[in-house]
Structure 1
Amino acid sequence: MAIPTRIAELADIIATKTKIVDDYIRSHDLPSLSFEANGSLAVPVPESATEVIEAQHEVIACTQELNELMKGPTEVLKTRFVADILEIQFVQRFGIAKLIPLDGAMSYEELAAATGLDMIDIKRVLKRAMLNHFFQEKDCKVAHTSTSRVMQENEAVTNIAELFTEEIWPSFAKTVEALDRFKGRPHVPEETGFSIANNTPKGMYAFFSESPVRMERFARAMGGFAATEDFSLALTGFDWTKVSTVVDVGGAWGPCSIELARAFPDLKCIVQDFEDVVAEGPSKVPAELRSRISFEAHNMFDPQTVVGADVYFFRAIFHNWSDVRCVEILRSHMDALKPGAHIVINDKVLATPKVSPPWAEKKSRTMDLTMLALFGSRERTYEDWVDLIREASPRFQVNYAGPPSHIIDIVWQ
């Protein structure tokens, strides 16, 4: 009997795993996946349905592998297009998605009149974007798909797209140059792809502090990430029922504290961030939660001003900073810690290669490169986290709730 080829194996896996996802969607009467304008804007499967999520991830990984095997390595390298990002930047910067009505279409002439752009340029970009299911053509006019509809209806995604195309993309283009120019030296925010792209000797945060417009863009994108991520895993990855007071350090305008306060009625949260960031926080908090969520301007590198809280919570903060600076953050909190207090870090933990599905691992590795390009920082393995925390103080006991919550619980002894 002939041994099945890899492409035949992949086809079988894709069929089997796709059926698991499709059966779940059908049995729960969820909307079918489609690129039509009225299609679902996200795969309607909750993270708690772990078997289905694993099947989804395997389908993504196997279809990508099959796609690349069918192309061959030479064609794969030739067709990894940066033009995909150009399309998103074009649509985002000129507000194309918001111009086109959800239940209608616009001609290329109308889009040219509305944007002031040359009609030929609009056509050449959008016609390629349509090959990525980003808009579609109906009766020679431009209409929405579910993909383009996201950028009209979901402000969080639009804010993330703006950060990617206006800040991260230029920084990526200069990252290899930064590695070459500053090789042999420890990574610092002042010597990154971002600093070269912006012709500045400053790191991103220092540079943005002098540009309110770009700082606002960054803050909106961070709020976008918080709004689009499944926070439920953080709610279950730590026992919040034994907690009275949480200090949400670097918590922006408080999206994480809002979710915590909703889930645990006895919890009080103090959100700390830069003064201009927390200023808008109170307006974001639902009326029924305002008595339990307060805001305070604070620099996390300064000594912690809230003494004796049960938990000091950091979500997606430490990966923005080098090991040396992370140690400084931990040490800046030590005088405020009572015995048994927790520093809870909700940050990605890089898995050993080939443990996670390739698609999930690629997302984490992409974020790792993003941290390199913007901050000279990194994502970390569990061993990296332990080394960093122990360097801060031997009094820290490290507990780790592995995937999917990625909660690192540090207890002050």
Structure 2
Amino acid sequence: MDDSRILELGIRIGRNTAKVNEYLAANNLPQPSFDLNAPSQFPIPDNETEIAAARKAVLHDCLELRALMFGPREYLESFQHNELVSQQIIARFKLAEAVPIGGEVTFAELADISGLHEIHLRKLLRLAIAQHIFCEPRPGVVAHSAASRLIAENKMLADWIRYSTDDLWHAAYHMGDALARYPGSEEPGETGFSLANKTSKDMFQFFAEKPELSLRFAAAMRFINGRPGLEPERVINGYHWDKVGKGGIGTVVDVGGSHGKICIELARRFPSLSFIVQDLDEQVVRDAERQRPEEVADRVRFMAHDFFKEQPVKGADVYFFRAVLHDWSDTYAAKILQAHIPALKLGAKILISEPVVPEPDKIPAGDALRIRANDLVMLELFNGGDREMADFKRLLEKAHHGFQFNGANQVPGSNHWIIEAEWMGE
């Protein structure tokens, strides 16, 4: 009799787990753990592609095996609507910061510190403990796990959790209401986020009027952009920057580039290129100028600019959009591109660095959940979303027939691609 799927998965999980374990042992690396002093990230270097692939396969296969072992009915029942509530309370009431690293507090003491009722606190934290966030070394006593310690020590992570469990979670809850009220809308102010916050403004406009939320969002984005696969060197290695301009001498405009992290690293690598980093927020521009390294100060400039308005930098060789267009529906993404047309010289390149959604039959099974969930975030917030390659081609055509799609390459080691279009003229 042929092996069953569950047996196949079990064997494969065992084989790949053994491969990872052997690597850890051979290199004197710590075993995975949530103990207080455990590493915050799984200790496999990026260049160990075979071991990294084995680990990824274990993660994917475990999810499939779990679902199969449940069966359809129990699997549907297994989704818990309140799995994030403990993280929300931990972030909102700063509970991780209230527990001493390497020490202990009682539920009663933590209730006094936080202002929460002890019974409520105990219920919430025991859910977190079941998720490996905190531990209870003795009944009624709370101490850190590696996960809760990370929340206490990494403010950007704590801000990300707060953003995720407040802003994103509420936007997701109201998305069905938005779809019913605004069917087919491409307007950024007709979303789950706008309904959750009782506003007709898009998220960026709404945050701009609320400094605390704006700062939290900025910190959350810095945390996200620090994840493996989004490092500046990925972008540097993902495109032939040495061929920009004539003889390697040229100008790159980073549209919506925030603090210019990418351009600063490009300037260090390619001394013949000059960069202009644009951002809507003038405070961001001022902060970026203060933080700019002296050795690239003459080649990396910052400018306040609204990318829906006509591009003021004329005749640059490259206009670079990193994680910009997926925030917007096709209607508004096309307007962003159209605002650049008066500035474009013949042969100017539009570079778009974003995730590209594979066609349905080409998405690896283990990646489908992550890809689809990330896509929905943009719908909940902006009526935007990640696009398939054919969608990018249609977007360029929608913006203007003068944009020629030149192809795309996936950035090595990242889920981002770099899509190139060339301005061929009116």
Question: For each residue in 1:316-341, what CA deviation from the matched residue of structure 2 results, as whole angstroms up to 9, or x when unmatched?
Answer: 11110010111111111122223332
Equivalent pair of 1:105/1:142 in contact (CA under 8 Å): yes
Q: Of residues 370, 376, 387 in structure 1, which corresponds to 2:377?
A: 370
Is 1:165–2:198 an aligned residue pair?
Answer: no
389-398 vs 34-43, which deviates more? 389-398
**Equivalent position amino acid for 2:83 in 1:** D
Shift of residue 172, structure 1, vs aligned partner: 0.6
* Match 1:410 to one of 374, 396, 421: 421
Secondary structure, aligned partner of 1:238:
coil
Contact 1:321–1:376 (Cα < 8 Å) also in 2: yes
- For residues 20 and 339 of structure 1, the distance between their equivalents in structure 2, rounded to whole angstroms, comes to 53
Give the structure 1 partner of residue 261 of structure 2.
Answer: 255
Partners of 1:104 and 1:308 lie apart in 2 by 60
SS at match of 1:379: coil
Name the aligned partner's letter for residue 401 of structure 1: N
The answer for the alignment partner of 1:319 in structure 2 is 326
Q: 1:344 to 1:21 in 2, by over 3 A?
A: farther
CA contact under 8 A between 2:91 and 2:159: conserved in structure 1? no
Counterpart mapping for 1:2-401 below 5 A: 2-140=1-139, 141-183=141-183, 185-230=184-229, 231=231, 232-243=233-244, 244-274=250-280, 275-353=282-360, 355-398=362-405, 399-401=407-409
CA contact (8 A) 1:191 1:201 kept: yes
Shift of 1:374: 0.7
The answer to which of 129-138 and 394-403 deviates more is 394-403
C-alpha change, 1:87 and 1:258, in structure 2 (3 Å) is farther
Q: Cα offset for 1:47?
A: 4.2
C-alpha distance after superposition, 1:79-104 (max 9, x if no partner):
21132211111111111112222222
How many residues align? The count is 411
Judged with a 3 Å threshold, the aligned counterparts in structure 2 of structure 1 residues 292 and 156 are, in CA distance, closer, same or farther, namely: farther
Q: 1:248 to 1:83 in 2, by over 3 A?
A: same
Rounded Cα–Cα distance in structure 2 between residues aligned with 1:31 and 1:291? 45
Larger mean CA deviation between 127-136 and 203-212 belongs to 203-212
Aligned-pair CA distance for 1:24: 4.1
Moved over 6 A (4+): none
- Give the CA deviation at 1:229: 4.3
One-letter amino acid of the structure 2 residue matched with residue 370 of structure 1:
V
Q: Secondary structure at the match of 2:147?
A: helix
Q: Is the 8 A contact 1:348 1:379 kept in 2?
A: yes
Q: 1:374 to 1:30 in 2, by over 3 A?
A: same
Q: 2:322 touches 2:353 (CA, 8 Å); kept in 1?
A: yes
Q: Structure 1 residues 310, 47: CA separation in 2 closer, same or farther (over 3 Å shift)?
A: farther
Q: Distance in 1 between matches of 2:348 and 2:43?
A: 37
Give the stretch that moved more between structures: 42-51 or 73-82: 42-51
Q: Please give the alpha-carbon distance, in whole angstroms, between the structure 1 residues aligned to 2:103 and 2:146.
A: 13
**Which string of whole-angstrom CA distances, capped at 9 and with x for unpartnered residues, describes residues 260-288 of structure 1?**
33444444332211223322213443444
Normalising by structure 1, we get a TM-score of: 0.92
Change (3 A) 1:20 1:172: same
Q: CA deviation at 1:130?
A: 1.0
Pick closer, same or farther for the CA change 1:269–1:154 going to 2, 3 Å: farther
Quick one: which amino acid aligns to residue 38 of structure 1?
N
Aligned-partner residue type, residue 162 of structure 2: E
Deviation of the 1:213 alpha carbon: 2.4
Relative to structure 1, is the Cα distance of residues 393 and 22 closer, same or farther in structure 2, using a 3 angstrom cutoff? farther
Give the secondary-structure state (helix, strand or coil) at the position aligned to 1:83: coil
Task: Kindly state the Cα deviation for residue 297 of structure 1 after the two structures are TM-superposed.
Answer: 0.4
Give 1:112 deviation, angstroms.
Answer: 1.4
SS in structure 1 at match of 2:338: helix
Cα offset, 1:198, TM superposition: 1.2
Q: 1:48 to 1:241 in 2, by over 3 A?
A: farther
Code of the residue aligned with 2:236 in structure 1: it is L
Instruction: For 1:195 and 1:293, locate their aligned partners in 2 and report how far apart those are by CA, in whole Å.
Output: 36
Asked if the contact 2:20–2:54 (Cα under 8 Å) also holds between the matched residues in 1, the reply is yes
Structure 1 residue ranges without an equivalent (≥5): none
Contact 1:57 1:360 in 2 (8 A): no
- Taking only the aligned residue pairs, the percentage that are identical comes to 37
What is the CA deviation profile of residues 344-366 of structure 1, one whole-angstrom value per residue up to 9, with x for unaligned ones? Answer: 11111001235343343322211
Measured after TM superposition, the shift of residue 48 of structure 1 is: 4.5
For residues 155-184 of structure 1, the C-alpha deviation after alignment (integer angstroms, 9 at most, x for no partner) is 33222212111111011111011111222x
Q: Residues 186 and 331 of structure 2 are in contact (CA less than 8 Å); yes or no, is this contact kept in structure 1?
A: no
Contact 2:235 2:262 in 1 (8 A): no
